[in-house]
Amino acid sequence: MLSIALSELVQIFRNRLILVTSLIVPVAVSALFIRQHEAFAALGSLGYIAAVVMFTVGAFGLYTTVVTTLASRRQNLFLKRLRSTAASDTDIICGLLLPITVISLVQVTMIMTVLAAVAGGPDNLPLLAAAVISMVIMMLGLGLATAGVTNSPEHAQVTTLPVSLATIAVASWVGITGTEELTLLKRLLPGGSATELVLNAWNGGAPLSDSLLLLAPTLSWVVVAVALASRIFRWEPRR
């Protein structure tokens, strides 16, 4: 698995498209939010900024790159060749996705550290870490499912847009309006409960037990995504 991961890390830094979408775009958008944090905080709160930043990295950095990577490796038959080795299917997938997952976690950590230094830190750091990890797992699952209906890296630019834009839109909606109204709907939408968890972690005020329950909807999306991926994910191009 580690040899696959190291090989994939090299490919990430050689591929300009992936380099831009996974590294430059999320950092640029996050920098805008942090620089204008007072204006954006007036719309919602510092927790709102943290949630949008988190999903910007998760959608455009992690999720899009996962789909593009798997579609590319399938198209050039790299996935097929890997399956002829001693590596298990799990090792192959984990090896391919490990580098971008680590990069995304580092990005989120660094960006939120800067936000905390500039505007003030979170009220509950462990709760914030739980929100970030749950978001990462959800986006990985959604990426695996989307890769199943993505024929090529070019096609990934289309197939990833609905989920990418939807999760960021949900994060903005929940971050600005809260969950006092339409509570169940907002929590069940992909990204809604994770956003509320970030709001509670950064802004404080919510009981810990109530906040931890918000992990359930996010992890439910993981179960749904993995179930879909197990049915529609392909190891070889369509003929």
pTM listed for this prediction: 0.90
How many domains would you assign to the chain? 1
For 98-147, how does the pLDDT look when each residue is reduced to its tens digit (9 = 90+)? Answer: 999 999 999 899 888 888 888 888 888 999 999 999 999 999 999 999 99
- How many alpha carbons fall within 13 Å on the CB side of residue 88? 3
For 53-88, how does the pLDDT look when each residue is reduced to its tens digit (9 = 90+)? Answer: 899 999 988 999 999 999 988 888 888 888 888 888
> Would you place residue 47 in the very low, low, confident or very high pLDDT band (cuts 50, 70, 90)?
confident
For 144-179, how does the pLDDT look when each residue is reduced to its tens digit (9 = 90+)? Answer: 999 989 988 889 889 999 999 999 999 999 989 988
For 11-39, how does the pLDDT look when each residue is reduced to its tens digit (9 = 90+)? Answer: 777 777 777 766 777 777 777 777 776 66
Select from 216, 221, 218, 214 the least CA-distant residue to 199: 214
Domain-located, residue 239: no
| C-alpha 179 chain-centroid distance | 22
- How many alpha carbons fall within 13 Å on the CB side of residue 4? 23
Residue range(s) defining the domain that contains residue 92:
2-232
Q: Quick one: pLDDT at residue 46?
A: 83
Domain-located, residue 18: yes
Domain-located, residue 174: yes
Largest CA distance in the chain: 55
Q: What's the chain's average pLDDT?
A: 86
